[in-house]
Amino acid sequence: MNHSSYSVLTIGGNIPEKKFKNFCVKKLGYNPLDTQETSSMESNINSDGYLVIIDSCARYGMFEELEKWLVDNNIPFNRQNDSCPGEYGPIFKWWRPGMKEPIETAFDEDLYELTVPLAEVRSRLGDINELRRWLDKHYPKPTQLPPAVLVQE
């Protein structure tokens, strides 16, 4: 069974350049700051100023070690991955400084929209304020990702 899918990791905020490069070379086997391509990965600083890493064969659609490193180093990110048929659906995951842990939710890869369970919404339709509180708690809207800034240590 293939446990990989196309995944895009978008990184913003202050990125300690040398520390980031060393971690990536050691754990990923390449330096995303070189804006290069490997067999399945590519990276660049896009026109919005974000560092974007794309892996066409990301294991379970994740950048597990890198995402943990970003949280540990207070660097905000968004990650979205396509589904892996028979395994998992598309996911949107995001983290910002000050959050206890990243938030992960289902994602419609065709519409680029976060999705919520319809049964949960229906069960709260009688009280629109309860529905709003529930959505805010369990499906908060991601805040804007700040542009990436490479910081010299």
**Does the structure show a pLDDT above 60 at 68?**
yes
Task: Grade residue 79 by pLDDT with cuts at 50, 70 and 90.
Answer: very high
Distance separating alpha carbons of residues 95 and 115, to the nearest angstrom: 18
Distance separating alpha carbons of residues 33 and 57, to the nearest angstrom: 20
* Average pLDDT for 69-78: 97
Rounded to the nearest integer, the mean pLDDT of the chain is: 85
The secondary element (H helix, E strand) that includes residue 67 is helix 64-72
- The pLDDT value given to residue 38: 59
Q: Positive or negative, the Cα torsion across 1, 25, 81, 115?
A: positive
Q: How open is the CA angle 110-116-121, to the nearest 5 degrees? A: 135
- The pLDDT value given to residue 81: 86
**Contact status, residue 73 vs residue 16, Cβ threshold 8 Å:** yes
- 18-63 pLDDT, tens digit each: 999 999 889 888 788 876 555 567 778 888 899 999 888 788 778 8
